[in-house]
């Protein structure tokens, strides 16, 4: 029995097989979609009884939705714009004050 060395020597692991035995990665996207049924359609969601769908990078209301809430949306947009302008003004004032201090 050795004092300082270990007689344990693990066996070498066999080489791994190919990561994927499937040839699906060789197919182009349209072929995979038609063969495997990967056409999901337009994403839709329902929030508080109002239906929205995702088109061209934006959420769009389904027809008939949000008709009664247009005034509130316009009011919120105006309020948002006012707050952004106020925020920009305050940032400008902070920049000016920092320039005066330094």
Domain extents for the chain? 27-63, 66-101
Residue 72 C-alpha from the chain's centroid:
28
Among 47, 27, 44, residue whose Cα is nearest residue 36: 27
Tokens matching residue 24: 């699906």
3-state helix, strand, coil in the chain (%, to 5): 40, 15, 45
pTM: 0.36
pLDDT (tens, 9 = 90+) of the chain, 102 residues, equals 556 667 777 888 888 776 666 666 667 777 777 777 666 677 888 887 788 888 888 888 776 655 556 778 888 999 999 999 999 999 999 999 999 998
């Amino acid at each position: 029995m050795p004092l300082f060395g270990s007689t344990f020597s693990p066996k070498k692991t066999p080489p791994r097989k190919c990561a994927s035995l499937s040839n699906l990665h060789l197919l182009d996207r349209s072929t995979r979609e038609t063969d495997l049924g990967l056409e999901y359609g337009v994403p839709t969601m329902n929030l508080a009884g109002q239906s929205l769908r995702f088109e061209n990078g934006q959420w769009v209301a389904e027809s008939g939705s949000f008709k009664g809430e247009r005034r509130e949306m316009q009011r919120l947009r105006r309020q948002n714009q006012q707050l952004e302008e106020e925020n920009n003004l305050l940032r400008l004032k902070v920049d000016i004050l920092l320039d005066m201090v330094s």
